[in-house]
Chain A
Amino acid sequence: MRGLVKRYGDLVAVDGIDFEVRPGACLGVLGPNGAGKTTTIEILEGLKPPDGGSVEVLGRSWNESPREIQERIGVQLQETEFQDKLTVFELLRMFRSFYLHGSDIESVVRTIGLQEKRNARVKTLSGGQKQRLSIGCALLNEPEILFLDEPTSGLDPQARRRLWEVVESFKSGGGTVVLTTHYMEEAERLADDLIILDHGRVIARGSPSAIVASLGAESVVRFALAGTDIHELAEDELNALQGVRSMRYEGATISLSVVDTPGVIAGLFDLIERRGLVLEDLHTHRATLEDVFVSLTGKQLRDD
């Protein structure tokens, strides 16, 4: 997609996004709520027309051959509620009837691991099972591209892993995946390429490791000062420490992006002692996508 724009009244939800998805790869679209992830993926799915830019799916455009695209893609939408009183099999059978070509319903039931729930009504399924059923409905036509919009939102960790396995088995069969998420762990595990969105713009792109590397730091060191305003320590003083790439004040803590964590910590202890301050709550972790995101936008990915 090139130069994609979507407006809602005055609000520009998507502001000039371009990207390409490699066949057989998984593209993760990462960003906080309201970044334009869902709008972007819904334009790709043909649910919304773009206000500007061009979109090609499988080499076709939505204006010219919508049915052909629909035959070849699988879609899971956010917030779809299935009819409670239908069974898993009945629902899959209905979706199967829309496609000219596709797989056997029983094999999809196995893929999504709902054999024991085959004849159970939708209302008896757990959140994770419903979500796998939703993906099952998207797999019936053996799609070439699978679109997943926040597929594990609100699921517990175990249900989330079960769902990832389904997506991974689709990928291992050569399928292409476009996935929106605001979970770092999900992006790191499933995505081969990532774009990070904020306010309808791409703020970073590349493989997850390349994006983390773009931070230019291995680790993050975070600490607070006991009984003192953190601004006691000036930006210059901290940046002057050997190994610090960048620093930020985050509420009551200071966050340093660093290479050579032990060296930085030693230097930090020195500095604090010289200044007669008291260190509190020091911790360090390997740099993650979350840190990239925070350093790019100054915001956390998730509110929760």
Chain B
Amino acid sequence: MTRLQEIRELTRVRVLLFFREPEAIFWVFVFPIVLAAVLGFAFRSGGIEPSTVAVVQGEGLARLTEAFEQDEYLEVEIFEVREEAFDKLRKAAVDLVIEPGDPPRVSFDPDRSEAATARLRVERALMPAADGATEPLVQLEPVTETGSRYIDFLFPGLLGMNLMGTGMWGVGFAIADVRRRKFLRRLMVTPMRRSSFFISFIMSRLVFLVLEIVVLAGFGRWILGVPFRGDVISFMIVCVLGGVTFAGLGILVASRVRTIEGVSGLMNLVMMPMWLASGVFFSYEKFPDVLHPVLRLLPLTALNDSLRAVMIDGDSILQHGSEFAVLACWCAVTFLVALKIFRWE
């Protein structure tokens, strides 16, 4: 048979095996959707929490409650007994306790950000009464456009993380499995070309990649309302390059490991730093400036940055040559090293 048929049959077997593994379907398709949905809900925008303020009975109570009613973000609870109000404060059921007087006395936990917000709201509510200033000090421009919400930041990161996870697990696990079964040795005594074996992994990855991207991007676009501003070609180029690069990293990780446990450990070792430092859940800009150039050299950082640039900023991949180059280098180097050190026996 021809070379092409050999690759086609090997690829077909890989695809069949994948679809007969229910766990794999879950991790590739269901898990990222659930994660995006949960995180998107937890960090949804527009949900500003009001502050709850406990006011203790006393002279001047009316003046305080009147001032607080002006602010829609202040909710007032009135307590007749001072201790009850402080008991609520200790349980964080209220954000601060205010006792009427001149000036009114505010008790709060300065380490809680909700308490600090409540304090500022209380001060602002009482300010006009204090000095009569009504002129705003700053001009406010509320930003509500899509593309700046947390989910818009998060989604391309999740997509990148998923491409990394499925690429590495999908390929690395499968290789460790055929080696453990001594099936790799059986292939070695046939005239199968070794390159066909690797190409079949890449080809099967591309099949899943298209499905994965369609399902996830569809969910992001139509359910979460994440914008897709860039061109489809750039988006697909980034996804394919990312997918192939991580498939190569999967081959590399599995190139010498004999057991499933060994490959799992090595996978986590490689992926864990990137989950944290490549800007999946939060921007890597939060790390010290000196680290940024190093973090940008990680393959997942380059993938996430490219995905965000294409999806959110609407850029073409041509404008992001450096990220593209980083991914392409990883891709080339991992394949070369993997082929060099791969243990067939």
A-side residues, CB < 8 A to B, are 45-47, 67, 70-71, 73, 75, 77, 79-83, 85-86, 90-91, 93-100, 137
Q: Which A residues are CB-close (under 8 A) to B9? A: 93-94, 96-97
CB proximity of B30 to chain A, nearest CB, Å: 20
Nearest-neighbor residue (CB-CB) of B3 within chain A: A97
Sample (13) of A-B pairs whose CB atoms are under 8 Å apart: A46-B189, A47-B185, A47-B188, A75-B190, A77-B185, A77-B189, A80-B183, A83-B183, A97-B1, A97-B9, A97-B10, A98-B6, A98-B187
Instruction: Please name the residue on chain B nearest to A134 by beta carbon.
Output: B186
CB distance from A269 to the nearest CB of B (A): 55
A164 to B2, CA, bound (A): 33
- Of the candidate stretches B14-22, B138-146, B328-336, the one touching chain A is B14-22
B residues 1-46 in Cβ contact with A at 8 Å: 1, 5-6, 8-10, 12-13, 16-17, 20-21
Q: Which residues of B contact A100 (CB under 8 A)?
A: 1, 191
Residue in B5, B20, B186 whose beta carbon sits within 8 Å of that of A80 in the complex: B186
Which residues on the A side are within 8 Å of B10 (C-beta)? 94, 97
Q: Which residues of chain A are within 8 angstroms of B80 by Cβ–Cβ distance?
A: none
Q: In whole Å, how far is B221's beta carbon from the nearest beta carbon of chain A?
A: 34
Within 8 Å CB of A85, what residues of B? 16-17, 20-21
CA distance A95 to B188 in the complex (A): 11
| A86 and B1 form a contact (CB under 8 A) | no
Question: How far apart are B6's CB and chain A's nearest CB, in angstroms?
Answer: 5
Residue numbers in A under 8 Å from B17 (CB-CB):
83, 85-86
Q: Which residue in chain A gives the minimum CB-CB distance to B178? A: A83
Residues of A within 8 A of B343 (CB): none
Of the candidates B12, B185, B190, the one whose C-beta lies within 8 Å of that of A95 is B190
Q: Is the CB of B181 within 8 A of A97?
A: no
CB atoms of B1 and A81 under 8 A apart? no
Q: Which residues of A contact B186 (CB under 8 A)?
A: 75, 77, 80, 137
The CA of A85 and the CA of B21, in the complex, are separated in Å by 9
Question: In the complex, how many angstroms separate the beta carbon of A123 from the nearest chain B beta carbon?
Answer: 11
B255 to chain A, nearest CB (A): 19
The complex places the Cα of A144 from the Cα of B187 at a distance, in Å, of 18
Interchain residue pairs A-B with the least CB separation, the first 4: A97-B9, A81-B181, A70-B191, A85-B20
B182 adjacent to chain A (CB < 8 Å): yes
- Report Cα–Cα, A73/B191, bound state, in Å: 10
- How many Å lie between the Cα of A91 and that of B190 in the bound state? 14
CB atoms of B20 and A79 under 8 A apart: no
Most-contacted residue by chain B among A85, A94, A100 (CB, 10 A): A94
Count of chain B residues near A, Cβ 8 A: 25
Give the nearest-CB partner of A46 in chain B. B189
Is A99's CB under 8 angstroms from B182's CB? Answer: no
Taking a contact as CB atoms under 8 Å apart, the answer to whether B1 and A99 are in contact is yes
How far, in whole Å, are A86 and B345 apart by their CA atoms in the complex? 23
Highest count of chain B CB atoms <10 Å: which of A47, A75, A93, A97:
A97
Nearest to B19 among chain A residues (CB) is: A85
B13 and chain A: residue at smallest CB distance: A94
Known: A77-B182, A86-B13, A93-B9. A99 touches B189 (CB 8 A): no
Besides the contacts A71-B191, A85-B20, what 17 more A-B pairs have beta carbons closer than 8 Å?
Answer: A46-B189, A70-B191, A75-B189, A77-B185, A77-B189, A82-B181, A82-B183, A83-B13, A83-B183, A85-B16, A85-B17, A90-B12, A96-B1, A98-B190, A98-B191, A98-B192, A99-B190
Task: Name the A residues within 8 Å of B189 (CB-CB).
Answer: 45-47, 70, 73, 75, 77
Question: Among the listed A71, A75, A77, A86, which residue makes an inter-chain contact with B16, where contact means beta carbons less than 8 Å apart?
Answer: A86
Residue of A nearest to B192 (CB): A98
Residues of A within 8 A of B191 (CB): 67, 70-71, 98-100
Contact of B190 among A70, A81, A82, A93 (CB under 8 A): A70
A97 close to B6 (CB less than 8 A) = yes
Of B10, B13, B17, the most chain A CB neighbours within 10 A belong to B13
Cβ-defined contact, B192 with A81, below 8 A: no
Residue of A nearest to B188 (CB): A47
Measured CA separation A100–B9 after assembly (Å): 14
With known contacts A80-B182, A86-B17, A47–B190 Cβ distance under 8 A: no
Question: Which of B185, B189, B192 has the most C-beta atoms of chain A within 10 angstroms of its own C-beta?
Answer: B189
Q: Which residue of B lies closest to A67 (CB)?
A: B191
Q: What residues on A are CB-neighbors of B185 within 8 Å?
A: 47, 77, 80
CB distance from A140 to the nearest CB of B (A): 9
* Across-interface contacts of B345 in A (CB, < 8 A): 47
Instruction: Check B1 against A98 for contact (C-beta < 8 Å).
Output: yes
B188 contact set on A, CB distance < 8 A = 47
Q: Are B183 and A90 in contact (CB under 8 A)?
A: no
Closest to B10 in A: A94
A57 CB, nearest partner CB in chain B, Å: 12
Give the chain B neighbours of A79 by CB distance below 8 A.
Answer: 182
**What distance in Å separates the Cβ of B28 from its nearest Cβ neighbour in chain A?**
17
By the criterion CB–CB under 8 Å, are A83 and B1 in contact? no
Q: Across the two chains, which residue of chain B brings its CB closest to A79?
A: B182
**From B10, B20, B21, B186, residue with most partner A Cβ within 10 Å:** B186
Highest count of chain B CB atoms <10 Å: which of A77, A95, A98, A100 = A98
Taking CB atoms, residues of chain B closer than 8 Å to A97 are 1, 5-6, 8-10
- Which B residues lie within 8 Å of A91 (CB)? 13
In the assembly, what is the distance between CA of A71 and CA of B190, in Å? 7
Residues on B with beta carbons closer than 8 Å to the beta carbon of A93: 9
Closest-CB distance, A125 to chain B (whole angstroms): 15
Chain B residues in 8 Å Cβ range of A71 = 191
- Asked, given contacts A70-B190, A71-B191, whether A90 binds B16 with beta carbons under 8 Å apart, the answer is yes
